[in-house]
Amino acid sequence: MSFDRLQQAIIRTKNPTVAGLDARLEYVPQPMIDRAIAQYGETRKAAAEAIFAFNCGLIDALCDIVPAVKPQAAYYELLGWEGMEMLERTIRYAKEKGMYVIADVKRGDIGATASAYAEGWLGKTVVGGAQLPCFDADCVPVNGYMGADAVNPFLKIANQEDKALFVLVRTSNPSAVDLQDLEIGGGKIYDVMGTLAAKWGEGYLDGYGYNRVGAVVGATWPEQLAQLREALPHTFLLVPGYGAQGGTAEDVRFAFDEKGHGAIVNSSRGIMCAWKKTGNAGADYQDAARAAALEMRDAITAITPILD
């Protein structure tokens, strides 16, 4: 199953982290931008090619030490069709390098629309007699606040393609409290969503004991993270909010089980933009990203070792 593959990659690298590929053009070293503009002019194509070169460089620098990448679709949509085509290439390149790919799309529609999203991001599209993969990610986050109608189409394709999904449960942003902390039936709304995520995933346990429906729970809420880990023993957790948003290695330790399994922690700008702190104008962006990823790994595993 899909989270089996992710957990195996985490154990292999002894690293429970995912590198966000959320590249805006200003995150890319200027010489890479200048080369793309020289070839394509001041166009979306130039921006897409500069970011693609940056992404590939990051993947090359990280693929042996970081098990997964998480491109955020919004940054690619910003560049129109050129950006989306480049996202497809980025996903393909990461998978060729052996990395698990979480496409951060946060879709949340229902019915035929949800089915189309699921087929596009996780499955295949049919053209005549051919079934053709589109973005072909390993996993996507979805918004389950429209209920099972928004989740089941993704789960159907995930089952067919041996892939997985994460449901938004307790997100890392400050205003999450506006809705997710409201009392309902003696608990919180995020408790209800966590219970639903576990229910939607029932019957699909992998070799490590996790089902196909994971949960997004932010590092910025460590008490709730600990609570949800205990309440959802078979639910794999995606943990955003580390680093730039304030989450620490002490906070994210609550996401893991006693073997250090069952969760993966995201960092985006902390890795992508590490070169901005070195004073070398991006010439060392790969080395800087690798050093930042290793520092994050070591900080987390010093508190939460990853056991076989």
Amino acid at 34: D
Within 13 Å, how many C-alpha atoms sit on residue 173's CB side? Answer: 7
Could you confirm whether 106 is annotated as catalytic?
yes
Query: 14, 95, 97, 106: which one is catalytic?
Result: 106
- Give the list of residues 6+ apart from residue 292 with CB closer than 8 angstroms, or none: 267, 270, 271, 274
CA separation for the pair 263, 214 (Å, rounded): 9
Nearest CA to 43 among 82, 86, 72, 85?
82
Question: 41: alpha, beta or left, given left = phi > 0 and alpha = psi -120 to 50?
Answer: left
What kind and span of H or E run contains 20? Answer: strand 17-21
- Cα-based torsion angle of the residue sequence 58, 61, 67, 71 in order, rounded to the nearest 10 degrees: 0
Which residues participate in catalysis according to the annotation?
106
